């Protein structure tokens, strides 16, 4: 049993999922969510957020912080056999893959002993990338073999995920409008 996290965002009315590509040390190459195997006593969500935090090297926060974010912004949970993927909304950051790449290259160049230690949970992903639905459909074979079934389930739920995201996106826009109005009210006083 295992679990993972999968961030999803909207940019220019298009939906994107953030995936990670396994590093060259992994025996099952390809793209997947940020996840892994369950430790004793963990729930699927605990596993997903612990593994997610490790695999994305803390870029989205600690396991505890990720747990809060996933619970608050969860769009859908996808289960396949003994694996659970938690898809959650986050703001789109086009530079996140670039920052991750720089971090990975720094460790590769200056701390290779950390990169090559398999059980530290760090640097398991060589790179991260935003995938649109069109790219998911076109590039499905580039995903880890076990994860291709989950990609199929994500594609099957496209309409549901899109509707949930649109609602989340609109509520965020509304919150931003309220904040701006509040700030302008304070300035005028």
The tens digit of pLDDT for each residue in 15-31 reads 999 999 987 766 678 99
Percent of the chain clearing pLDDT 70 (strictly above)? 83
Half-sphere exposure of 138 (CA within 13 A, CB side): 5
Please report, for residues 20, 21, 35, 133, 172, the alpha-carbon distance to residue 144 in angstroms, rounded to integers and kept in the order given: 10, 9, 12, 17, 33
Distance separating alpha carbons of residues 62 and 59, to the nearest angstrom: 8
Q: What is the mean pLDDT of the chain?
A: 87
Per-residue model confidence (pLDDT) at position 173: 53
Q: What is the pLDDT of residues 41-62, one digit of tens each?
A: 999 999 999 999 999 888 899 9
Evaluate if residue 187 carries a pLDDT over 60.
no
Distance separating alpha carbons of residues 39 and 50, to the nearest angstrom: 10
Domains in the chain (CATH in brackets) are 2-187 (3.90.79.10)
Task: Enumerate the β-bridge partners of residue 74.
Answer: 88
Residue 166 DSSP label: H
């Amino acid at each position: 049993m295992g679990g993972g996290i999968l961030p999803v965002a909207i940019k220019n009315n298009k939906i994107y999922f953030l995936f990670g590509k396994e590093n060259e040390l992994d025996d099952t190459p390809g793209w997947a969510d940020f996840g892994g195997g369950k430790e004793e006593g963990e729930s699927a969500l605990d596993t997903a957020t612990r593994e997610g935090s490790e695999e994305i090297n803390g870029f989205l926060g600690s396991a505890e912080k990720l747990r809060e974010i996933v619970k608050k912004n969860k769009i859908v949970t996808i289960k396949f056999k003994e694996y659970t993927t938690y898809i959650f909304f986050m703001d789109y950051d086009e530079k996140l893959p670039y920052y991750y790449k720089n971090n990975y290259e720094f460790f590769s160049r200056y701390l290779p002993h950390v990169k090559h230690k398999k059980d530290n949970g760090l640097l398991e992903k060589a790179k991260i990338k935003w995938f649109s639905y069109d790219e998911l459909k076109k590039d499905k074979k580039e995903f880890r073999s076990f994860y291709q079934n989950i990609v199929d389930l994500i594609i099957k739920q496209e309409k549901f995920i899109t509707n949930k995201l649109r609602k989340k996106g609109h509520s965020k826009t509304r919150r931003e409008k309220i904040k701006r109005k509040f700030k302008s009210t304070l300035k005028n006083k």
